[in-house]
Chains A and B, each alone.
Chain A
Amino acid sequence: MRPYSILDPNASLTDRLIIDQIGRNSRVIDLGCGDGRLLCRLRDELRCSVQGVELDHREVIEAIAKGMPVIQTDLDHGLKEIPERSFDFAVLSQTLQQVRHPQELLGEMLRIAKRAVILVPNYGHWRIRLQIMLHGRAPRTSSLPYDWYNTPNLHFLSMIDFRELCERMQFKIVHEIPIIRGRAAQAAWAANLRADNALYVLEHI
């Protein structure tokens, strides 16, 4: 049986899921763009006007080599220099659970862009529940084999948790796509139990 796994943000499957949410000729900012691979595809396949944000110096240089514009900054320090509504889409892939202030970042995303596309792991998955119940230990996953004290994942959320936050922040969930074993499973039953990841498209109400 496949173990529970967080979708690799570098996988082309992840890119595909995100690209499907983005319209042609849009203006897109990718927060945590890595080496700019997704941006490259958005530019070349959808003729998007793109912008990256990345902290890691090596990755920034890679993105420059691909011809991608990147701002080097720490998402934990906010996005102050990015003007309001300067993008159609803000993308955040497998990063929300790693920032210090997820709520603030979500707010920033919908300040700078009309829509936010967010991919998050779902810690409500039955395997994680089982792990905690049977072993009484913090969850460990095969793709992110960290211990509780060295994991970059600071926040553990389920689909229910995420929905609740969106409601509280008055964000409209335009799309909610549970991802089960790497496949988009729209309208899946018991998604919070079965999905290992979920993709959200948000906008202001």
Chain B
Amino acid sequence: MHQDRSADMASEIAPPDTAEDTQSVGIVQTRFARLFEPPSVLTLESGGGLGPITVAYETYGELTKEKDNAIFICHALTGDAHVAGKHAADSRKSGWWDGLVGPGKALDTTRYFVICANVLGGCQGTTGPSCLNPETGQPYGLKFPFITVGDIVEVHAALVRHLGIEKLLAIIGGSLGGMQVLDWVARYPDMIHAAICLASSGRLSAQGIAFNAVGRRAITTDPQFQNGDYYGSDPSKYGDVGPRVGLALARMVAHITYLSEASIERKFGRDLQHSDHLAYDLQRETEFKIESYLHYQGKRFIERFDANSYIVLTRAMDYFDLAQRYGSLREALGRTDARFLITSYHTDWLFPSSQSRELVSAMLETHRHVTYLELESVFGHDSFLLEIKQLEELVTPLLRETYRRSREV
């Protein structure tokens, strides 16, 4: 499996703002659970069933005897289960939220049992389009069923139960991860003490769908796409085959939406990559630094991500509409006793603050416990991955107080 870490989730436009305590969870391993064995297959929202399903997950810290200290992390579109620590002593990079998860950090692994699992439809160990379809012996490709955020959550809820946990101390996620947090709460209102939803929304905006559409189009029009049947003899090596140009292009476009005008300006400005002078050469592809940066991001992405997964997961994101699914935001969010922390970032134009405020309104209307902050950051949508200290300041007291109170009851 291609392991390329943290900054792939974020823009790398800023060095991760790690807390001063650089303690790590150390060497960790991805584990696998086989769930939904036939005949108890997962009933999908799109109709039909899917099973068995393999779920790749990692855990950090110890589960208490009472099983009351579990925190589930929902990763974003291209994330994976490897949140913290390293897979080997000589791994170049740590997990994608290593600054947040570890001994003494916000998700303190000396107190809490932290779980993260790859999403259904993904390509980092959990069942997805690059896996073999047991019925045909061939990779699913685009014959993989249409899945929704709700289906992703159902699989993760099954994993949590499989680990013997009935109630989560907290659930946390940003972007598509935040959508999962919201769906968890709507689906299992009594299963969560605290819900933390970062840079997210109750529905993907038309603008978000538009960018996803461009990305998918880039993939499907690549001649190498072959209707999704591009895998070689080893489908887990999707990085070597398939619509590499299209997928890289999709990533480049998406990547721009994760940044802000100010962050690009600050990091690259109009700086040139190779020279101090404009070349006046139409053949030159990467004259400006920002061009070179986007090309690099695209190239790295295709080494670790499967194009079919990109299609499946962006579609799941497009379809996410909490109000439509549950009748209204009030009905979706009004039945939980979970304490909510919602944050948005003032430079995030992909998931603007107005969308978080809609969630807050629905929760106030239904008298839920909600804390909301619009945070200052230059990094746009990626802020939730980069502004670790800022997040830690909020999450640490929230978790402590929630844990203290949950033990009193």
Contacts and interface: CB of A to CB of B under 8 A. Distances in A.
Interface of A: 27, 49, 51, 60-61, 64-67, 69-73, 80-83, 86
Nearest to B330: A83
B284 interface: no
A49 B367 contact: yes
B401 A66 contact: yes
B371 A82 contact: no
B401 A71 contact: no
B362 to A, nearest CB: 8
A49 B405 CA distance: 16
Nearest to A80: B357
B361 A65 contact: no
A86 to B, nearest CB: 5
Contact of A64 (B364, B365, B401): B401
A82 B358 CA distance: 10
A60, A64, A67 — which one has the most chain B CB atoms within 10 A of its CB? A64
Contacts of A67: 339, 401-402, 405
Contacts, number: 54
Interface residues on B, range: 20 to 34
Contact of B398 (A64, A72, A73, A82): A64
B335 interface: no
Which label, helix, strand, loop or mixed, suits the secondary structure of the B interface?
A: helix
Given A64-B394, A64-B398, A66-B401, A71 B365 contact: no
A168 B353 CA distance: 35
Contacts of A69: 339-340, 369-371
Contact of A81 (B340, B361, B394, B398): B361
Nearest to B398: A64
Nearest to B364: A86
Given A64-B398, A65-B401, A72 B373 contact: yes
A66 B371 CA distance: 12
A49 B363 CA distance: 13
Contact of B360 (A27, A64, A66, A71): A71
Nearest to B393: A61
A69 to B, nearest CB: 5
Nearest to B370: A69
Nearest to B369: A69
28 contacts: A27-B367, A51-B370, A60-B373, A61-B397, A64-B341, A64-B371, A64-B394, A64-B397, A64-B398, A65-B397, A65-B401, A66-B401, A67-B402, A67-B405, A69-B339, A69-B369, A71-B372, A73-B374, A81-B358, A81-B360, A81-B372, A82-B361, A82-B364, A83-B361, A83-B364, A83-B365, A86-B365, A86-B367
B400 interface: yes
Contact of B364 (A51, A60, A65, A73): A51
Interface in B350-408: 357-358, 360-361, 364-365, 367, 369-374, 393-394, 397-398, 400-402, 405
A67 to B, nearest CB: 4
A63 to B, nearest CB: 8
